[in-house]
Amino acid sequence: MPAPVICAVTGVALGGGFQIAMGADIRLIAPDARMSVLEIRWGLIPDMTGTQTLIQHVGLDVAKELTFSGRMVQGQECVDLGLATRVADDPYAEALAMAHEIAAKSPHAIRAAKRLMNNAGSLSTAARFEAERQEIGALIGSPNQAESVKAFFEKRDPVFADPQQ
């Protein structure tokens, strides 16, 4: 998915719901919302690459603890562990506001940033620098980049073109 995915967690995110949340780029969670790798309680393990995604978010040791125990984790602890980005009193409203804020940025720059960040773990340092150089090279002087600068100096909101829509 080239566009940022923002997840609002309220109530509980268990098993498959938990794994879907882990697939989001940004996760906003209510203070009383709870998450768990619940499959272990049913004699199963996470599927849909759930174990791998979990490791990326919380590290190997915490991923093992959560998977082996099926422990329920709430609000701020989810943030502390890396399961959520931040706590929000109204995650849905904040997710919508964040989506509008992101949508007001250059779509090409947003997609480039997401590509770079998503691929960072699988590339060498030299390859990451090269990928970044290529992305910046494609952005500098592009119509949307020029519009960003022009709008900034004219103190107005930019109007971007996005042929990929």
The domain ranges of the chain are: 6-100, 104-153
Average pLDDT on 135-140 reads 96
**Which of 50-54, 93-97, 126-130, 160-164 comes out lowest in average pLDDT?**
160-164
3-state secondary structure of 9: strand
Return mean pLDDT, the chain: 94
CATH fold, domain 104-153, is: Lyase 2-enoyl-coa Hydratase; Chain  A, domain 2 (1.10.12)
* CA separation for the pair 28, 90 (Å, rounded): 9
The model scores a pTM over 0.85: yes
Q: Where are the beta strands (DSSP E) in the chain?
A: 6-9, 12-14, 26-29, 34-36, 73-74, 86-87
For the record, the structure tokens of 32 come out as 């009383």
Backbone phi, psi, residue 27, to 5°: -125, 115
Q: Does domain 6-100 have CATH number 3.40.50.300?
A: no
121 or 61, which is more confident: 61
